[in-house]
Amino acid sequence: MHRHEGPSRGKFTAAVTAAAVLATAAAGVLIGRYDERPPWGTDIAYEGGFTQASRIRGYDVDGSRTKALLAGECALMERRGMGGDRAVHDPAAWVEGCLDGAAGRPSRNQGIVR
């Protein structure tokens, strides 16, 4: 039988410990940088507004709610807190998504390459 020659247990343990410390430090830097907002928070906010306006538009029988959204109700909804947790990440992106959804434009986040 051939015995596998690898690093000693001490070197292996030191390498694993160093990797764990480095990963923890990197996570701490990311948390410190973004706090509770994820790096892709703008996309989340936009899609939240887009989805909400698309649903309102889909259930709007006479078109009055859609016209109201385009006339400024999107911004009013965001100011009143009706955008929910997603709007908190980037309120302007939420309103932009809401306007795109109300107008029936495709989402800017569709497709693989943006």
111 has pLDDT over 80: no
CA distance 70 to 111: 25
Claim: this prediction has a pTM higher than 0.85: no
Residue type, 16: V
Asked if 110 and 65 count as a contact pair (C-beta separation under 8 A), the reply is no
Helix, strand, coil percent content, the chain, rounded in steps of 5 = 70, 0, 30
- pLDDT per residue over 7-64, tens digit each? 788 888 999 999 999 999 998 887 787 776 677 888 889 999 999 999 999 998 898 9
Tokens describing residue 103: 């107008």
1 has pLDDT over 80: no
- pLDDT per residue over 62-81, tens digit each? 989 999 999 999 999 999 98
